[in-house]
């Protein structure tokens, strides 16, 4: 019975992750009209599921994420209650934020859930505060890094292509470099962050794949003909195709990377019920990854459009060239952070990148009201998740 409850709670968490985090991958493509909202949620649903099942981690490290000190994670009954409470606490907050249309970090939500359980279980001294400080730093670091890179990149694209006398000619000259850089960043990020490949080896393979893609992509994209006489149509048509590709990659990799937030605690509950003790690392069977992937896909399908609308349409106006700069900046920022071991939130980077492109065109073109609400939701994420989780923890302990 308890195992069934854990599966249901894990599915709810996966559903909430899919509903909110789908904006990370598809919001700019929808905002730029590269694809429709319906197409976006359908594509995301399929790719998130495939990413989770094919490349989701088969080993879930301790769900504490370094928040609750290891010495307070020995009592199986408390850990079991804490795992369920953390999932419920974070799920409630993420779903509330999704209904409100606010993009929040699902990782920060589960961190808040763990902190709430730890404090309710053993007090403030059970929390690893140095780890909490690094997470707080990521609230600031992530959007600033995304903003800076997107701002600079859009300025470069504007001067090198968009503001030229003949932008189509400038675009054709730039295609090999743009395709190479795009594939290089995408492949390197996937190898390092998802496949956990050695950096030097990933560097070689990414360069080879990017070089081949650059040659083939250049041949294909130079054949595009603008429908009218406007050269900007050609430029936007090229960026549209690149943007769809980067959005699909982010969706696929998100399924692979974030499914652990939902199924990791469930795998731990499964282990405790089966073995009667607490393990720092537990195996995650494929069927559990599939359950998480299914939940993420369902969330993207049924509630994904709400947050997509906020990020893709309400912060600033997007087109394909701006959307591509946002996607490229986000992937690059996450890659650099992963290589350097810096704490970072993809959600915060995406929003920062959107603002970066907006401010590159003019500060007045950024909707400050929407941005203010997003920032408020970010600062509410950990405390609200912690409070709800603590309440669920004390409640669950009465029944197990």
pLDDT score, position 231: 86
363, with CB counted inside 10 A (0-12, 13-18, 19+), is exposed
Residue 71: what pLDDT? Answer: 75
Alpha-carbon gap, residue 262 to 264, rounded angstroms: 6
Q: Is the pLDDT of residue 132 over 70?
A: yes
- Angle (nearest 5°) at CA 70 between 64 and 74: 100
Q: Is residue 115 a contact partner of residue 388, using CB atoms and an 8 Å limit?
A: no
Does the structure show a pLDDT above 80 at 68?
yes
- What average pLDDT does the segment 193-197 reach? 86
What's the burial of 209, exposed, middle or buried (CB within 10 Å: 0-12/13-18/19+)? middle
* pLDDT computed for residue 10 by the predictor: 93
The CA–CA distances, whole Å, from 115 to 9, 19, 38, 148 equal 18, 23, 37, 31
Task: Name the band, by pLDDT with cuts 50, 70 and 90, for residue 2.
Answer: confident
Q: 57 or 296, which is more confident? A: 296
d(CA 63, CA 72) in angstroms, rounded, equals 13
- pLDDT score of 73 more than 80: no
What pLDDT shows up at residue 61? 55
- In Å, what is the CA distance from 212 to each residue of 170, 176, 184, 242, 328? 22, 10, 11, 15, 19
Phi, psi of 235 (to 5 degrees): -60, -50
Give the model's pLDDT for residue 162: 94
pTM of the model: 0.91
């Amino acid at each position: 019975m308890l195992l069934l409850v854990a599966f249901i709670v894990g599915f709810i968490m996966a559903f909430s992750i899919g509903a909110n985090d789908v904006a990370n991958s598809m919001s700019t493509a929808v905002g730029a009209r590269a694809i429709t909202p319906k197409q976006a949620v359908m594509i995301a649903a399929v790719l998130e599921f495939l990413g989770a099942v094919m490349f989701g981690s088969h080993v879930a490290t301790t769900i504490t994420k370094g928040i609750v000190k290891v010495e307070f994670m020995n009592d199986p009954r408390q850990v079991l209650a804490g795992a369920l409470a953390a999932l419920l606490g974070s799920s409630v907050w993420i779903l509330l934020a999704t209904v409100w249309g606010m993009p929040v970090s699902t990782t920060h939500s589960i961190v808040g859930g763990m902190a709430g359980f730890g404090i309710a279980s053993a007090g403030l001294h059970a929390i690893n505060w140095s780890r909490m400080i690094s997470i707080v730093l990521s609230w600031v670091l992530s959007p600033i890094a995304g903003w800076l890179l997107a701002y600079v990149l859009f300025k470069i694209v504007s001067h090198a292509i968009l503001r030229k006398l003949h932008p189509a000619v400038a675009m054709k000259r730039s295609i090999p470099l743009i395709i190479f850089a795009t594939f290089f960043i995408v492949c390197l990020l996937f190898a390092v962050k998802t496949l956990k490949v050695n950096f030097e080896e990933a560097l070689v393979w990414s360069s080879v794949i990017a070089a081949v893609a650059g040659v083939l992509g250049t041949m294909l994209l130079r054949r595009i003909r603008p429908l009218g006489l406007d050269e900007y149509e050609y430029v936007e048509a090229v960026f549209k195709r690149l943007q769809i590709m980067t959005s699909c990659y982010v969706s696929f990799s998100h399924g692979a990377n974030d499914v652990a937030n939902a199924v990791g605690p469930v795998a731990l509950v499964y282990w405790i019920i089966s073995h009667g003790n607490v393990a720092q690392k537990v195996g995650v069977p494929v069927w559990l990854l599939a359950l998480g992937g299914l939940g993420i896909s369902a969330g993207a399908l049924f509630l994904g459009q709400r947050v997509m609308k906020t990020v893709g349409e309400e912060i600033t106006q997007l087109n394909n060239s701006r959307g591509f700069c946002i996607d490229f900046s986000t992937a690059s920022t996450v890659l650099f952070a992963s290589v350097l071991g810096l704490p970072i939130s993809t959600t915060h980077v995406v929003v920062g990148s959107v603002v970066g492109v907006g401010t590159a065109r003019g500060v007045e073109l950024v909707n400050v009201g929407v941005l203010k609400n997003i920032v408020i939701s970010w600062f509410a994420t950990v405390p609200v998740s912690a409070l709800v989780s603590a309440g669920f923890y004390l409640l669950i302990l009465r029944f197990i």
